[in-house]
Structure 1
Amino acid sequence: YRVTPETVKQEAKKEQQEAQTQQPAKETGATAQAPQQPDKSKYVIDPDKVDWEALKNFGLSKEQLEKAKALEPMLRGYKSPGAFTIAGNYNSAIMKLDARLSFRHDKDGNVVLAIHGIRQKPELERPFFGHEFSKEDKANLLETGNMGRIVNLKNYITGEMIPSFVSVDKVTNELVSMRASSVQIPDEIKGVKLNKEQKEALQEGKGVFLENMISNRKNPFSATVQVNADKKSLE
């Protein structure tokens, strides 16, 4: 089990309700409810392949992740919604930091824990996978958290140039990228149908102001919608 830093919106918090099934009690003849096993097909990470015992080396536990409602998004390939305090002793050096967490597969297919430490500010003065941030890029990232356009980022292992969106993790200030090809723009957002120009603008990473959207509580609202690489979706 290894710790690897991730080199590459906040996903909306979702609670999974475990289905329950009726099973007969062995002695009384009464019925008792037992939870079914979670549906692993929707997970990017197989929970059976996570070394839960090794999490204790960092002051963490499976139960702690469940209580914080972090386990579900982490198994689905996202970061934990909030930060955790990580503590450990490595070669006589004591490490303690606040970080968001995620599970990743290493090159051998093993599940590893990625630790996304909190930074004071985004590192915009250094090249990001070969991309030099322009003055406008920096302003957009600091103001909205999204760069607002697609740029080519270099995969230093394969040499491939990958069209990508870039955003700032608003919890850790980490720069995050996402392949532009992985985004599918819907025909409708919160009850508002998108026209061709709006869909094209969103696909290019631009922000689009939409009026009279309907919230989950059935209230109308207006807001700017844009692709967020950290949340891996529109926000």
Structure 2
Amino acid sequence: MIDVNQLIIQIPVFLLALSGHEAAHAWAANKLGDPTARRMGRVTLNPLAHIDPIGTVLFPLTLILLKIPPIGWAKPVMVNPYNLRRPRQDNLWISLAGPGANIGFAVFFALLFRVMAMGGLNGNRFWLEPVLYFLIMSVQINLLLAFFNLIPIPPLDGSGIVLGLLPSEYVRYYEQLRPFGFIIVYALLWMGLFDKVLLPLVDGLYAILLGGS
């Protein structure tokens, strides 16, 4: 049975993590010479600017119903490669910015958790427990989003990193995966990628950040 109190915390945590992820892509693109996403209002933590009906609503809600911490995706951040000085290399950094932001968020919330756990355990547990749960979920969901998006299948961020590193002659072959990207991702998740690969990675870094909390 779904715990409504946990759901009330998980949903805004997921939306904040996803918004930070997409805003980081837009910010990086702007810094590297392409203002397209900034002009579209994507350098913001407002989730309304980033929502994709399937990736931001349907897919994560399905995971929540299955009692799995939510992951998903938002509307793609539009990048005009003609505005970039070094399109392939710059796109690699733009792709890294999203997962990098999520890992940065995870570290930040983990530090807050450690400070509050050390200094606030004798405080009012009525407010302390939900705050600590918010921080724990913020660490977990940000790590999940980071590692999920690093899967090297188009259109996830890992594919942008691969494209920045591949020799030019192989790029067109790799791009042929794009129309089937999410079918491949769904198949990999169904085959156990989540349980066998993503969760162990997340759990390992989670334990380091929170000290096994």
TM-score when scaled to structure 2? Answer: 0.26
Larger RCO of the pair (alpha carbons < 8 Å, separation 6+):
2
Structure showing greater Rg: 1
Q: Larger strand proportion, structure 1 or 2?
A: 1
Q: Larger helix proportion, structure 1 or 2?
A: 2
TM-score when scaled to structure 1? Answer: 0.24
